[in-house]
Amino acid sequence: ICFPLMLSSLMVTAYFKLEVILIIRFLGDANAGYWGVLLLTLAPWFMLCSAISPILNHDLSKFKVDSFEYKRYLNKIFKYYICLSIFGISVNVLIIKMLLVKFLGSSYSGAVTISLIASLAITPIFLGSLQDVSIAHRGTTKVVLNKLIFGLPFSIILFSISIYYYNLIGGAISLVVSYYVTSIFSNFFFDRYFFKHTFAAIYGR
């Protein structure tokens, strides 16, 4: 059960490294530094998701996966996560606009705009974390690997084209698009269960 998740983690780690390599290759070292700041502004939200996941896992494990109670609780958590991610985007934007340059210095002002754009990825980060817990309960961890086999080539191609033609702004936009595609919309093909719950939570059903 854990092997697909382990392999997926290795693939994602390699992809993050590839992003930096591509930026250095096409845009130079300074822009790679700006990209590092962008990733730094998203890191706390990954950490928050990791901190919440064990609690969520404990609460969900009280119910049988195919029970009405499980689905109702999952739907409620969806709503909480969507609201929390919107709050996270707002906090991230305020911190970036008010404090990023103040703490890092004016030489990092080139990271402000791309970090603001990347803040929109916080929502799929939260939903992806919730999906990982759901997948583990259903024993379908190969879904994660299947999504990455589809998502990583898509992300690499989109990112390469974006930074080549539109510099770091294009890279930030492609990052957000990749997160939404791989964390939400690709579920239509690879995890229909989670896809239905996503939109049921959004539309309040």
Instruction: Measure Cα distances from 60 to 27, 63, 193, 195 in Å.
Output: 45, 6, 16, 18
Percentage with pLDDT > 70 across the chain: 99
CB 42 within 8 A of CB 126: no
**pLDDT of 68 strictly over 80:** yes
| DSSP type of residue 1 | -
Which residues are CB-contacts of 197 (< 8 A; sequence separation ≥ 6)? 71, 74, 75, 78, 134
Global pTM?
0.91
Say what the pLDDT of residue 5 is. 78
Lowest-confidence pick of 14-18, 20-24, 125-129, 197-201: 197-201
Round to whole Å and give the CA distance between 64 and 84: 26
- Picking from 100, 110, 3, the residue whose alpha carbon sits closest to that of residue 42 is 100
- The mean pLDDT value of the chain amounts to 92
> Looking at this protein, which amino acid is placed at residue 40?
L
Residue 205 has pLDDT above 60, yes or no: no
Q: What is the mean pLDDT of residues 25-50?
A: 95
Task: Note the pLDDT of residue 158.
Answer: 96
Whether 179 shows a pLDDT value over 60: the answer reads: yes
* pLDDT higher than threshold 80 for residue 204: no
**pLDDT tier at 117, thresholds 50, 70, 90:** very high
Query: What is the sign, positive or negative, of the torsion defined by CA atoms of 45, 154, 74, 134?
Result: negative
Structure-token match 């703490």, residue found: 103
